[in-house]
Structure 1
């Protein structure tokens, strides 16, 4: 899969907009950036928001956000984002992206990776 500069910009924008929606407690807005598979899994924006609040506190209410360079994992675009959680503990969120039939991008999962001191 060839990722263009336009794709990179769009992917970053999708992740930024979802993070902004979480900040505003806009469940429907945040849910809209999830892939159809994720939407099917959670069924409602409220279910999705509840899961994010419980399992992804650093994503729900980051103290700071720093975008890193887009990577590909087994050919799938993955957007790493360095977050500080509410306690100031750094964590890396890896957003797995999925291109839709209309060529738009949606988030198809997010994995939190603890950052260990080197």
Structure 2
């Protein structure tokens, strides 16, 4: 009987107690990997982290990069950054705050929305960016 209970628990809770933390870390890795791709000039690699909906709106690398370098320059080339608040939405989405310093030396807050893909990977669904009143990151 204890074996059946153990199997039942595994079926009900297949990811263990740290599933939320693992999902959040995976989503944060997606953000970091995109930032690293931008920093190294691998724009095609950075585009690969965009969710299908973003790729539909920006169907070419050129249109995507035009949007990023035009409206999201601090995200494209941050001097430094750190993760802030995070919330797992429970619907296959994670909302992650990123505090960063842009090339211009000003502080910004970017809020990323990531969605889990059918293959289990995380892709960036959207980013909002605003100037921040933070003194330091």
TM-score with structure 1 length normalisation? 0.88
Structure 1 equivalent of residue 98 of structure 2: 81
Moved over 2 A (4+): 71-76
Kept after mapping to 1: 8 A contact 2:107/2:134: no
Structure 2 equivalent of residue 93 of structure 1: 110
- Structure 1: tracts of 5 or more residues without a match: none
Kept after mapping to 2: 8 A contact 1:93/1:110: yes
Structure 1 equivalent of residue 78 of structure 2: 62
Q: How many positions carry a matched residue from both structures?
A: 116
- Structure 2: tracts of 5 or more residues without a match: 1-18
Q: Residue 65 of structure 2 is aligned with which of 39, 49, 68? A: 49
Structure 1 equivalent of residue 33 of structure 2: 17
Q: Residue 124 of structure 2 is aligned with which of 99, 107, 111? A: 107
Q: Residue 36 of structure 1 is aligned with which of 52, 58, 70? A: 52
CA pair 100-74 structure 1, distance change in 2 beyond 3 A: closer
CA pair 4-97 structure 1, distance change in 2 beyond 3 A: same
Distance 1:89 1:26 in 2: 24
How many angstroms does 1:73 deviate by? Answer: 6.4
TM-score with structure 2 length normalisation? 0.77
